[in-house]
Amino acid sequence: MAECFPEVSEADRLAFLSEFEIVRAEIWKVAEEGAEKRHTKEAFEKRMTDRFPWMKREALDKAWFLANYYAWHEGYDKR
């Protein structure tokens, strides 16, 4: 990350990575809940933007895709 963003301090880069890990964990929670089997995309987007207001369309779309992929891959959508 330092190579891509040399102007960002190490402390800020670590803070970003920590926040991204929290987002990743939330995506997994949705996957474990069954993703689109139990949530609409709109409800998912509200959940994510309530918690992470900085997420924009591209990030929300990617997060929704990942939640559904993880749910499918791990079989959480079959429960």
For residue 1, count other CB atoms closer than 10 A to its CB. Answer: 11
Give residue-wise pLDDT tens across range 21-79: 999 999 999 999 999 999 999 999 999 999 999 999 999 999 999 999 999 999 999 98
pTM for the structure as a whole = 0.89
Q: Does some domain include residue 71?
A: yes
**Number of structural domains, the chain?**
1
**Distance of alpha carbon 69 from alpha carbon 5, whole angstroms:** 29
Instruction: From residue 44, give the alpha-carbon distance in Å to each of 6, 16, 17, 47.
Output: 34, 22, 22, 5
Q: In this predicted structure, what is the pLDDT of residue 5?
A: 86
**Is 39 among the domain residues?**
yes
Q: Helix 57-74 to helix 10-32 angle, to the nearest 10 degrees?
A: 50
Tokens of 73: 């891959």
28 located within any domain: no
The structure tokens listed for 52 are 């992470």
Is 72 within a domain? yes
pLDDT of residue 74: 97
